[in-house]
Amino acid sequence: MKISRFNFGKTMPSSNALLFLFSGTFFPYLLPILFSQESSVSNYIWTTDHMHVGVRWQPFGFPKCEEYDANRPVLKEHSSYAQFWVSWNAAEPNPKNTDYSTNMSGYLKAIDHAVNLCVERGIKSELVMWHCPSWASESGKAGGWKPRVGEYPKFVTRMAKHFKGRVGAYQLYHEVNLQGMMNGANMDFIKKEIFTNGAKAIREVYNEVPKVDVLVSTSGTSPCQPCGAREGLRGVGAIAVDDYYNQLIADKELMKQIDALNLNISDHANGYGMMDGALIPNCWTQYDLAREKLDRAEYPSKKILSSESWIVWDNSGNNHDVNGDGKKDECDAFDKTVTIYGKVLERGLNTVNLPWCDNSSQWSMGLVKRVDYSGRIKQQRPDWVMPSDDGGPDVVTRKVGLHGPEERCKVYEVSENWNRFTEENYLNPGDPNHLHYYAWRWYSQIAGGSDEVIRHAIAGERGNNITASGTGLTGIEQYKISSYNRTQEIFTVLVYASGASGNGYLEVSI
């Protein structure tokens, strides 16, 4: 399919580059658009070939806040999926909380409500499991501790029964390459009890009548180079991650049960997810590492999915001055998003996400700013909010937490050692979105919101290439990504050219 010349573009904030979207039907003529419009809700079976750009959503446990968040454009209009982190310890702090019909924990109620909000909007949901309650652990301790044999499969069985038909994907754990994420467990336990038996338990539930398809994947890997590696892994850091993938792929029963491996997508260490700087100098080379191992082992249908993902936007120590202007701010977050998303999506990673909103986390990672949706913050601290440029609720200008019931909650500022920020850290204080949201939003077009969208051509792949030429394709940083929207019956090609000025043209073929 050849796309005729177009000489339009949309300049993104903080960048001289132009980013183009070409979209066309099977007809001889093609209709270019700049930004996707909100689409009708569609329902489809989620496979590893579907493309998803979305958010990591951790609801605060305030129903009205969750409803407001679900209607913000970042979720309702531009996300195709939401990833929820499920702490087993918080979901089932006591044995009585295993009965969701009578004693569901407040923590799980919040996730349950948010998942329902996603279903209503045609947004797919994925659950990521981690940690263990004291009553289920061998040590009697809660958190990152080894569960007694049999307890974890029972837990994911309960989760699968409760969320069947509403949740389409499960990741079985989080950063298992680190010993501290499950003390007392070695790699053999992780592979057999967590991955193999956990996957079997979920599939057994989803295979019951009425049968529902489900995606099951393993665990992302922490990019921490010096952190203690899992017992049973060779070496530490990147070497241990390399061995982690080797061990998973060598386990035939495990690979039979899972659909995909996972990796973290982040700006860790050097702004791009570096571990040792050699084997894994950035997150996209980690993708290449895992992809090459799968292909060599003749698992072409097994994909790689994003796990925990983040890009820091403030001036804290874990941000990075990637543009070299002497500051660490939202401009760096924008540039990191352009590069990281371009690199991993172009290679074939089909799911990417970033934290949906600022919260009380030590790291400032939200795509959008917190807003005073109920007016409670302004009532207590009017100096901590400011009018929003879009006429909506006031923008919150501090890193805050909220205590108490939603209608009577008390606002507090996080401690000084928790990387506080003020409106001075905002590049555009009145904008309810952070700058890197706009790069994320541009990339989100490849996934089509609630439409069903699958991966199409891959840049550089023999027989399935995306080619582009023309005077507009300039600059050292260039990306080409293609998808097919089954709902709208159109192809979409995203082209990024860091040196473009808006005066040239592009000719694109897929």
Mean pLDDT of 496-509: 91
CB proximity list for 99: less than 8 A, separation 6 or greater: none
CB proximity list for 328: less than 8 A, separation 6 or greater: 314, 315, 316, 319, 320, 321
The SS3 assignment for 170 reads strand
Q: Where are the domains of the chain?
A: 2-39+452-509, 52-291, 376-425
pLDDT tens digit sequence for 359-384:
999 999 999 999 999 999 999 999 99
The SS3 assignment for 224 reads coil
At 468, which amino acid appears? Answer: A
**pLDDT of 115 higher than 70:** yes
How many residues can be counted in the chain? 510
Q: Which single residue is written with the structure tokens 């009585």?
A: 96
**pLDDT of 20 higher than 70:** no
pLDDT tens digit sequence for 154-201:
999 999 999 999 999 999 999 999 999 999 999 999 999 999 999 999
Give the global pTM.
Answer: 0.94
Contact between 106 and 112 (Cβ < 8 Å): no
Q: Which single residue is written with the structure tokens 């043209």?
A: 505
pLDDT tens digit sequence for 61-76:
999 999 999 999 999 9
**pLDDT of 37 higher than 50:** no
Integer Cα distance of 149 and 169 in angstroms: 24
User: What pLDDT score does 202 carry?
Assistant: 99
Residue 241 buriedness (CB in 10 A; 0-12 / 13-18 / 19+)? buried
Average pLDDT across the chain, whole number: 93
**Of 314, 307, 337, 118, the residue nearest 223 (C-alpha):** 307
Integer Cα distance of 307 and 179 in angstroms: 18
Integer Cα distance of 466 and 483 in angstroms: 11
Integer Cα distance of 363 and 44 in angstroms: 35
User: What pLDDT score does 501 carry?
Assistant: 86
Strand order in the sheet with 303-310: 303-310, 260-266, 215-220, 169-174, 124-130, 81-87, 52-56, 351-355
Integer Cα distance of 433 and 366 in angstroms: 9
In this structure, which topology does domain 52-291 adopt according to CATH? TIM Barrel (3.20.20)
**pLDDT of 34 higher than 90:** no
User: What pLDDT score does 6 carry?
Assistant: 42
pLDDT tens digit sequence for 433-476:
999 999 999 999 999 999 999 999 888 888 889 999 999 999 99
Residue 139 buriedness (CB in 10 A; 0-12 / 13-18 / 19+)? middle
pLDDT tens digit sequence for 280-332:
999 999 999 999 999 999 999 999 999 999 999 999 888 999 999 999 999 99
